[in-house]
Amino acid sequence: MTAPSVSQTTYVLTLSCPNRPGIVAAISGKLAELDANITEAQQFDDRDSTVFFMRIVFEVAQDRTSAQQLREALAVLGNSFSMEWALHDRSVRSKVLLMVSRFDHCLVDLLYRWRIGELPIEPVGIVSNHPRDVFADLDFYGIPFHHVPVTKETKPAQEAHVLDLLASSGAELVILARYMQVLSNEMAASLSGRCINIHHSFLPGFKGARPYHQAFARGVKLIGATAHYVTLDLDEGPIIEQDVERISHADTPEDLIRKGRDIERRVLARAVRYHIERRTIINGSRTVVFTT
């Protein structure tokens, strides 16, 4: 008789702590005690800050080890090493709130990747400072759309509304898919570590408005895009992903914009995937990104 198969749950553990001998041994030993099977393990020792970073993917049998048992054991281990750690069940899709202005190419790309199963997210809302008819030719597949206009006078109320939507929807990540409004310091602080922006420039450089026109005026030979976490400092947040494309003297500003749209789409999609797969850990003004 064939033994019945045992259901496995896959978890992702991410952590950072002051570096010292014995961290990896302690973690792997504890997981072994819990009958966990490690399938991926990546680590990085930042010698400048003396902080140790690690990402571990492991499986446990559902009938042997519960999530509560894991968290209790990791809490004890975390205290002994002064760890900041997080445990995520890989089967649970990340709920995301998408924010967009008039340019919709990044939004459309994310929705396509979600629809075909390439990007395992759960979009719970689309927020725009423009009305729905601006996107009349787009199918939002039943995702709630929220028109939340903003002016200088209404900005505090508008941002409070967005935070209410975030809380009521259970979204854990906000994606600024070419949302062309500057967040207030209060809003940026409240979204620390859970808001990704795509900047249509290869940062640092050509900040602010019309970066492709700035690049054209300077005669650059490479253009790019940058996905980063939002912080209080405009376009200065920890960088998650970047990419570039070579251009020539024959390219017009319109050519740069066309090529830039392609870069923006793929850079934002990669950054979102790195985040939801728990491959990114913020390290001060930088990030540690455990890519595949």
Above 70 in pLDDT, residue 207?
no
CATH 3.30.70.260 in the chain: give the residue spans: 8-89
Q: Which two tokens stand for residue 177?
A: 């898919």
154-163 own/partner pairs: CB under 8 Å, 24+ apart: 155/184, 156/184, 158/129, 159/183, 159/184, 159/186, 159/187, 162/97, 162/99, 162/127, 162/187, 163/187, 163/190
Above 90 in pLDDT, residue 11?
yes
Above 70 in pLDDT, residue 239?
yes
- Residue 63: pLDDT band with limits 50, 70, 90: confident
According to CATH, the superfamily of the domain at 8-89 is: ACT domain (3.30.70.260)
What are the backbone dihedrals phi and psi of residue 45, each rounded to the nearest 5 degrees, phi first? -105, 110
Per-residue pLDDT, 221: 83
Q: Tokens 């979009």: give the residue.
A: 123
Q: Name the helix (H) or strand (E) containing 208.
A: none
Above 80 in pLDDT, residue 274?
yes
Is the pTM here over 0.85, yes or no?
A: yes
Q: Name the helix (H) or strand (E) containing 15.
A: strand 8-18
According to CATH, the superfamily of the domain at 94-289 is: Formyl transferase, N-terminal domain (3.40.50.170)
Per-residue pLDDT, 204: 57
How would DSSP label each residue in 96-142?
EEEEE-S--HHHHHHHHHHHTTSS-EEEEEEEESS-GGGGTT---TT
Catalytic-labelled residue, pool 104, 109, 235, 251: 235
CATH 3.40.50.170 in the chain: give the residue spans: 94-289
Least confident of 49-53, 82-86, 212-216: 212-216
Kind of pairing, strands 121-128 and 94-100? parallel
Per-residue pLDDT, 39: 97
Interval 136-178: pLDDT, tens = 999 999 999 999 999 989 999 999 999 999 999 999 999 999 9
- Tell me if residue 11 falls in helix, strand or coil: strand
Above 60 in pLDDT, residue 15?
yes
Above 90 in pLDDT, residue 216?
no
Decide if 113 contacts 269 (C-beta within 8 A): yes
- Residue 206: pLDDT band with limits 50, 70, 90: low
Above 80 in pLDDT, residue 243?
yes
* Bridge partners for 11 per DSSP: 58, 89
- Residue 102: pLDDT band with limits 50, 70, 90: very high
State the average pLDDT over residues 236-248. 90
Average pLDDT of the chain to the nearest whole number: 92
> Is 48 designated active site?
no
